[in-house]
Structure 1
Amino acid sequence: MTNYLKALELRAPVAAFFTPDVKFVTMGGQTIQGREEVAEFIRWLHQDAFDARPEFKATLIAGDQATLEADFVGRHTAEFFGVPASQHNVRVPYAVVYDLRDGLIAELRFYMPMNVLMEQITTSGVPALAAA
């Protein structure tokens, strides 16, 4: 899990950290399934739709579960769910609960207030200094 978080922070490939049948579930009801599909979604979110990185606040790893609390920090650089690139800075808190199996991530449950993210990309965003 620690190596996955480091790879996420460095924008390194993450597929190797997932089980073949991994599921990425948003609390809005969307599910992405499959090692390559989940890795591609994470890459797209951080490197295509946004130029963003996680700022880690807290992690907890216990047995077959882990949790992460972080901020999603960056700039909106491409179309995101129908909203054209605004170049606005964003800073949105999020949390992920991970289920682990055989040392790999089997499921990610993603909690992000999408209304906050959408507001930041459709209005003035957050000040550049706060997003840096």
Structure 2
Amino acid sequence: MKNSIKLFLTILLISLTSCENAKVEKNIKMYSSTWDEIINKGNLDLINDTHFTEDITLVMSPENIVGIEGFKDYYSNFVTGFSDVEFTLADVFGQGDKIVKHWNFKGTHSGEFFGIPATGKSVNVEGVTLVKMKDGKIAQEQDFMDNMVFLQQLGILSNPENVGIINGLYNAFGAGEIPNVLAALDANVIWNEAEGNAYADGNPYIGPEAVLNGVFARVGADHEYFNLANIELHDMSNNQVLATLRYQGKLKKNGVIFDVQAAHLWTLKDGKVVAFQQYVDTKKLADISKK
């Protein structure tokens, strides 16, 4: 008798587990295909009461988004704000009415995104979403992603490493390590000296070699010494760093010693300098050269 009961309970447990697994698999399949259609194919009409509960809730701060229309409005920003979209699920698993998805989103910011005008920048971000299902429909979602990285890729926030990169560049220049300075420049860097500066005759200098020959070599040839002093770095938006500093040097041709205020605006991308703009008192430099 006891063996019969054990056998019955075992069969019942297997049956219940099988049913539960089938339910989870069905939920995952429905969930995955729905979001593939919505994001990759831009089919926002699938955000309806067939696939989502009427009170579908997106958990977020400071206030949750509740209801199909609000939910659709929110995700329309991703569909209309980005082109060349690739939304992939790296992993999806579930238990009961809960699903966890690990996803990757790639795209080009080519349209308005939550009021942000198109930047033309590409994004590649990963995140995790916790999902609750109800009666085979999506009832609740909560996304977790590194918003700081996302905004940095859009160019709205700067990479926090930018200041350190520029600081290292100035240190290398001060130590006479010009190859290390050039290594910090992008292969197609656009370098502009201040208008009116003698070295602006080659503007814009394109590429590290042009900067070396058109600016650095000439500075070295024209001066007994040339130093950068009182350097202060200021982190800016759009992956830019502003440096305020002074040029201190001695001209070879007339022996004049000078101390001139200057500023440099650096633009970076992926850890490399892609643009440089110099600002300096060019009249003072010209007057010094004439003495």
Determine if the TM-score, normalized by the shorter chain, exceeds 0.5: yes
1:8 is matched with 35
Contact persistence 2:105–2:126 (CA under 8 A): yes
- In structure 1, the gaps of 5 or more residues are 127-132
2:151 is matched with 118
Q: CA deviation at 1:7?
A: 2.5
Q: CA deviation at 1:101?
A: 1.2
Moved more, 33-42 or 105-114: 33-42
Contact persistence 1:76–1:89 (CA under 8 A): yes
Go from structure 1 to structure 2 and tell me whether the alpha carbon gap of 1:115 and 1:14 turns closer, same or farther (over 3 Å shift): same
1:48 is matched with 80
Asked whether 1:31 is paired with 2:64, we answer yes
Contact persistence 1:46–1:53 (CA under 8 A): no
Q: How does 1:52-67 map to 2 (within 5 A)?
A: 52-67=85-100
SS of equivalent residue, structure 2 residue 118: coil
2:260 is matched with none
Q: TM-score, normalised by structure 2?
A: 0.39
SS of equivalent residue, structure 1 residue 48: helix
Question: How far apart, in 2, do the equivalents of 1:9 and 1:125 lie?
Answer: 31
SS of equivalent residue, structure 2 residue 34: helix
1:17-37: CA deviations, max 9, x gaps?
1110110123x4442110222
- In structure 2, the gaps of 5 or more residues are 1-26, 156-237, 239-267, 271-291
Question: How far apart, in 2, do the equivalents of 1:49 and 1:4 lie?
Answer: 23
Q: 1 or 2, which has the higher strand percentage?
A: 1
SS of equivalent residue, structure 1 residue 85: coil
Go from structure 1 to structure 2 and tell me whether the alpha carbon gap of 1:72 and 1:125 turns closer, same or farther (over 3 Å shift): farther
Q: CA deviation at 1:82?
A: 4.5
Aligned-pair Cα RMSD in Å: 2.1
Q: Which amino acid is 2:77 matched to?
A: L
Question: How far apart, in 1, do the equivalents of 2:33 and 2:138 lie?
Answer: 14
Asked whether 1:109 is paired with 2:142, we answer yes
Contact persistence 1:88–1:125 (CA under 8 A): no
1:70 is matched with 103
Q: CA deviation at 1:125?
A: 7.9
Q: 1 or 2, which has the higher helix percentage?
A: 2
Question: How far apart, in 1, do the equivalents of 2:79 and 2:86 lie?
Answer: 9
Q: Which amino acid is 2:32 matched to?
A: L
- Give the 4+ runs in structure 1 shifted more than 6 A: none
Question: How far apart, in 2, do the equivalents of 1:17 and 1:86 lie?
Answer: 33
